[in-house]
């Protein structure tokens, strides 16, 4: 049995971690939705805790089982509408999930056990439960004509939801559908999600279909703001009937004969009892947005072809036609821009969404580290693509953890240095052109290049006696294998180094830079494109091939001659207004045949590009034009080549590669224009 126990333990920790992960994300949504939280979400959170409790109980993890039991009890009351959503409750949920996480980690590392005080949490839970007045039980069925079988199959929770919907004056409808056995699950899920926008599917009861019909039938109990006719239009396959005995529910009924669903206003007063309120927000599946975005992308390609056709036509004879086409193209362009902007806007969410999570983590970490921290959060309204915000959370948290753990000194140390004993960490988000910048600034001890050098030397990343400058020191911190053992403390994560943070940011086509001054503090600057899908690009030609360079990375472009190019330390450079600009050739980067250089008078263009704080010049033979391009991802094989962000069609079925300036500079080197320690030039 011992081995079985081990296996069970292993499976449990895996699933528990997954559950807690989902739970944490659901909590963030829960907090964001506030008092208008969807009942479905509350129930989901309840179920997650319930599952955890069941598992822990079976396997004899007493503390996890006890804590989740208390938590489940509270959540049960919450979903039953017996207690209200308060700030205390939300804080308690976060703290509990956090403690559960620790308890799960402690299963495999007993040295960590004893860190969680579940009795304190139990007390807090008890307090919240007892502070709420009891509610009298009502029978939701009196107003409904509901068959016995459906009535009997409702769980206590479903009965409660039914009651809430009756109280809120919703239409209570029964939907009967019959699906084929092969795909009933998909079709039922599709139906349920289309119904979710205008109401709540309270229960789904499978049934035997009517005589002579094959497949499986379902009877859905649906509380909705739509009447039976409107729901029938929404679900054409279903037989819809109203279950209210009284003809007119409390909400105003729109007498309409139109087949189109009519969303009726719900009296706001009635909503107080319910967890749910109708907000102005529509939750859109990101896949649907991706689809619209793809259509926009294809339209842009069409437009580009229209433009090139217009150019081809502009001979004497066809001037009139060309003129007309030009006009159409311009109008199309304007409309497309509008469409594109609005689609991008739909995808945008404020970064403030993750701020609450950050502040909680910081509070908790500060406690653990026994440091006093003032956290300043700015620019919470700054908007970023939804997917990016999701992907950004982990790397950002990592940087902040680093700041707290390694950056901020202990209170004594700070006092001794004549600093405010309270350490300050500032997270600022702001938009800069087509990028969103996030600065994490601390007023801690700063990064000592000498220390970095020693660590890097000890890890064999550089020679034992090799001396390095500040910029190189910062770069080394992001190198795989740099992360020190002491950095793998509980605080700074599970041995994930800054190299992973950097990779995550690069995957988002972003950049990360660091500026620090010993004794004064450190700033990590993460810069991300607002969206990934459509960009303005400069089309260039190098070595007989065309490339697209994202305009957001381009600072300027200028014409030079071969004789202007010098070589310093085996690196081609060009002097740009007192600044030594490192040059790179796309032919070198992508191992293409050499550019043709016909002596000192050969003409070149230098495209001055920037990634984060670093600049480099890309040498090209000519600048073709500037245009909007839709980045399409390329196959797995090319994905690994640094310097390529994707491919794009630039009209006339011509496919070109899109240059990823960030990874190109990262690979072939760029130079910070102004290395002023401690200050970021903004």
Partner 1 sequence: MKILVVEDSSSMRAYLTTIIEGGTESYDLEIVEAASGFEALKTLPHHRFDAILTDINMPDINGLELVSFLKNHPVYRSIPIMVISTESSDEDRRRAAALGAEEYLVKPFQAPDLVEKLRRLLKVA
Binding site for partner 1 (CB under 8 A): 4, 7-8, 11-12, 14-15, 47, 50-51, 53-55, 57-60, 65, 69, 72-73, 76, 149, 152-156, 158, 181, 184-185, 188-189, 203-208, 216
Q: Which is nearer to partner 1, 53 or 360 (CB)?
A: 53
Q: Which is nearer to partner 1, 65 or 609 (CB)?
A: 65
Q: Which is nearer to partner 1, 180 or 654 (CB)?
A: 180
Radius of gyration over every alpha carbon of the chain, rounded to an integer in angstroms? 31
Q: Which is nearer to partner 1, 51 or 254 (CB)?
A: 51
Provide the b/e sequence for 119-148 (b: ≥16 CB within 10 Å): eebbebbeebbeeeeeeeeeebeebbebee
Q: Which is nearer to partner 1, 159 or 649 (CB)?
A: 159
Q: Which is nearer to partner 1, 50 or 632 (CB)?
A: 50
**Minimum CB separation from partner 1 for residue 77, in Å?**
11
Q: Which is nearer to partner 1, 184 or 355 (CB)?
A: 184
Instruction: Kindly report the number of other CB atoms within 10 A of residue 483's CB atom.
Output: 21
Instruction: Kindly report the number of other CB atoms within 10 A of residue 31's CB atom.
Output: 19
Instruction: Kindly report the number of other CB atoms within 10 A of residue 110's CB atom.
Output: 8
Cβ neighbors of 620 (< 8 A, separation 6 or more) are: 540, 541, 542, 547, 586, 604, 605, 606, 607
**Minimum CB separation from partner 1 for residue 1, in Å?**
8
**Minimum CB separation from partner 1 for residue 284, in Å?**
22
**How far is the C-alpha of 367 from the C-alpha of 467, rounded, in Å?**
38
**Minimum CB separation from partner 1 for residue 152, in Å?**
6
**Minimum CB separation from partner 1 for residue 72, in Å?**
6
**Minimum CB separation from partner 1 for residue 64, in Å?**
12
Q: Which two tokens stand for residue 640?
A: 């690994």
E-assigned strands of 386-520? 423-432, 435-442, 511-517
**How far is the C-alpha of 491 from the C-alpha of 514, rounded, in Å?**
21
Q: Which is nearer to partner 1, 20 or 530 (CB)?
A: 20
Q: Which two tokens stand for residue 103?
A: 């308890």
User: For 200-318, where are the alpha helices, taking DSSP H only?
Assistant: 228-234, 286-313
**Minimum CB separation from partner 1 for residue 278, in Å?**
24
Q: Which is nearer to partner 1, 3 or 283 (CB)?
A: 3
Burial of residue 507 (CB within 10 Å: 0-12, 13-18, 19+) is: exposed
Cβ neighbors of 360 (< 8 A, separation 6 or more) are: 91, 94
Contact 310, 343 (CB under 8 A): no
**Minimum CB separation from partner 1 for residue 51, in Å?**
5
CA 633, 638, 643, 647 dihedral sign is negative
**Minimum CB separation from partner 1 for residue 406, in Å?**
37
């Amino acid at each position: 049995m011992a081995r079985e126990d081990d296996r069970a333990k292993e499976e449990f920790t895996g699933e528990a971690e997954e559950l807690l992960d989902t739970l944490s994300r659901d909590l963030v949504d829960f907090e964001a939705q506030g008092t208008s939280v969807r009942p479905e979400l509350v129930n989901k959170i309840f179920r997650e805790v319930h599952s955890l409790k069941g598992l822990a109980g079976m396997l004899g993890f007493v503390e996890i089982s006890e804590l989740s039991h208390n938590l489940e009890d509270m959540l049960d009351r919450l979903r039953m509408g017996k207690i209200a959503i308060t700030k205390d409750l939300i804080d308690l949920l976060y703290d509990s999930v956090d403690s559960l996480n620790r308890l799960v980690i402690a299963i495999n590392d007993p040295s960590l056990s004893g860190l969680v005080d579940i009795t304190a949490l139990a007390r807090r839970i008890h307090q919240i439960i007892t502070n709420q007045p009891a509610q009298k039980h009502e029978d939701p069925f009196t107003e409904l004509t509901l068959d016995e079988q459906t009535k009997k199959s409702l769980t206590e929770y479903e009965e409660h939801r039914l009651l809430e919907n009756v109280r809120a004056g919703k239409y209570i409808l029964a939907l009967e559908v019959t699906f084929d056995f092969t795909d009933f699950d998909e079709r039922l899920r599709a139906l349920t999600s289309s119904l979710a926008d205008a109401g709540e599917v309270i229960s789904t009861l499978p049934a035997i279909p009517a005589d002579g019909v094959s497949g499986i039938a379902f009877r859905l109990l649906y509380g909705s703001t739509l009447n039976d006719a409107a729901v029938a239009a929404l679900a054409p396959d279903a037989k819809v009937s109203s279950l209210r005995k009284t003809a007119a529910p409390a909400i105003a009924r729109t007498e309409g004969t139109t087949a189109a669903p009519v969303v009726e206003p719900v009296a706001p007063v009635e909503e107080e009892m319910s967890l749910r309120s109708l907000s102005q927000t529509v939750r859109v599946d990101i896949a649907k947005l991706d689809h619209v975005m793809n259509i926009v992308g294809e339209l842009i390609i069409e437009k580009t072809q229209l433009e090139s056709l217009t150019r081809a036509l502009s001979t004497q004879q066809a001037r009139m036609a060309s003129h007309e086409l030009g006009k159409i193209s311009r109008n199309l362009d304007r409309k497309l821009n509008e469409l594109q902007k609005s689609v991008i806007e739909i995808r945008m969410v404020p970064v403030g969404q993750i701020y609450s999570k950050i502040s909680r983590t910081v509070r908790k970490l500060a406690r653990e580290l026994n440091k006093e921290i003032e956290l300043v959060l700015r620019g919470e309204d700054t908007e970023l693509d939804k997917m990016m915000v999701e992907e950004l959370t982990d790397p950002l948290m990592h940087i902040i953890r680093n700041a707290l753990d390694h950056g901020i000194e202990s209170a004594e140390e700070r006092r001794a240095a004549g600093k405010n004993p309270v350490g300050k960490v500032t997270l600022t988000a702001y938009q800069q052109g087509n990028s969103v910048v996030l600065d994490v600034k601390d007023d801690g001890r700063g990064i000592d290049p000498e220390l970095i050098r020693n660590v890097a030397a000890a890890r064999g990343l550089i020679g034992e006696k090799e001396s390095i400058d500040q910029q190189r020191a910062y770069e080394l911190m992001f190198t795989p294998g740099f992360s020190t053992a002491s950095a793998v403390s509980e605080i700074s994560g599970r041995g994930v180094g800054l190299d992973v943070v950097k990779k995550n940011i690069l995957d988002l086509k972003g950049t990360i830079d660091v500026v620090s001054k010993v004794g004064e503090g450190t700033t990590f600057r993460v810069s991300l494109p607002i969206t990934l899908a459509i960009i303005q690009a400069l089309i260039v030609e190098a070595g007989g091939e065309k490339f697209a360079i994202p305009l957001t990375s381009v600072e300027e472009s200028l014409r030079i001659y071969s004789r202007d190019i010098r070589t310093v330390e085996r690196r081609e450079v060009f002097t740009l207004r007192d600044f030594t600009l490192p040059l790179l050739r796309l032919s070198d980067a992508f191992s293409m045949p050499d550019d043709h250089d016909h002596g000192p008078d050969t003409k070149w263009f230098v495209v001055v590009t920037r990634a984060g704080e670093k600049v480099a010049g890309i040498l090209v033979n000519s600048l073709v034009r500037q245009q909007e391009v839709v980045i399409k991802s390329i196959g797995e094989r090319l994905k690994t080549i640094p310097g390529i962000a994707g491919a794009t069609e630039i009209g006339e079925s011509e496919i070109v590669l899109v240059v990823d300036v960030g990874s190109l500079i990262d690979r072939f080197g760029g130079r910070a224009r102004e290395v002023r320690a401690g200050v970021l030039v903004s």
